[in-house]
Amino acid sequence: MDRNQCCGIKNWTKFISWLQTIGYACVALSFAVRLGTGIGMVPWDLVDRGVNMTPDAAYILMTEAHNIKVVSAAAMALGILGFIVSLVLLKGTYDVSPKLLNVWIVAASICLTFWIAMVILWSLFTFRDLKMQILWTAVGLIPLIIVQSFCIWTVCGYRRQIQNEDTLGVHYYSTDE
């Protein structure tokens, strides 16, 4: 096997680690900005249309705004956690460390579970219409599950390749990259 192979599993793992590092940094930053500015926290479309609000309706809107803030804060925290975990993946990839790759695989699986819950909660708190909730949950979950499952599968393959090196005595990677 050519260790300088263009699309080898190590290069895919490097690509995934950089993509996740940049992606999670953007997620954490965007939710921090959203929380800091209050963008999208209150359904202002109702207020802007001059809808006459009873105290009960105003209370419901403020409760919805609070729920959206809580979900946004949790998403920001997951973004920060994902960023830290992606740094572990970067280190594990460049240092060729199966232990660090194991840490990332477990953490990424746990984060995937939390992200699924976040997408569902976000849809429930953001949309009032059941069809929109189902649509946005599907739109959010399908790509998330496919992409993250591919990433976990690829990193598992790279970890297996590194672990088999000692058993087989074959070097699949180069330490001078």
Radius of gyration of the chain (CA): 21
Among 10-14, 63-67, 147-151, the range scoring the smallest mean pLDDT is: 63-67
34/166 Cα distance (integer angstroms): 48
Domain assignment present for residue 173? The answer is no
Domain assignment present for residue 15? The answer is yes
Tell me the residue range of the domain where 18 lies: 9-44+53-161
Note the pLDDT tens digit of each residue in 113-165: 998 988 888 788 777 778 888 888 888 889 989 999 999 999 999 999 998 87
Q: How many domains does the chain have?
A: 1
Q: What is the per-residue pLDDT for 2?
A: 44
pLDDT above 80: residue 167: no
Domain assignment present for residue 1? The answer is no
Query: Per the structure block, which two tokens stand in for 20?
Result: 């996740």
Domain assignment present for residue 168? The answer is no
108/42 Cα distance (integer angstroms): 32
Q: What is the per-residue pLDDT for 69?
A: 80
Residue 51, class by beta-carbon neighbours within 10 Å (0-12 exposed, 13-18 middle, 19+ buried)?
exposed
Domain assignment present for residue 17? The answer is yes
Nearest 5°: the CA angle 82, 83, 87 is 115
Domain assignment present for residue 172? The answer is no
Domain assignment present for residue 166? The answer is no
Domain assignment present for residue 89? The answer is yes
Q: Which residues contact 159 (CB under 8 A, 6 or more apart)?
A: 98, 101, 102, 105
Mean pLDDT score, 100-117: 92
What single-letter DSSP state applies at residue 51? -
Kindly compute the dihedral angle of the four CA atoms of residues 64, 30, 102, 93, in this order, to the nearest 10 degrees.
Answer: 170
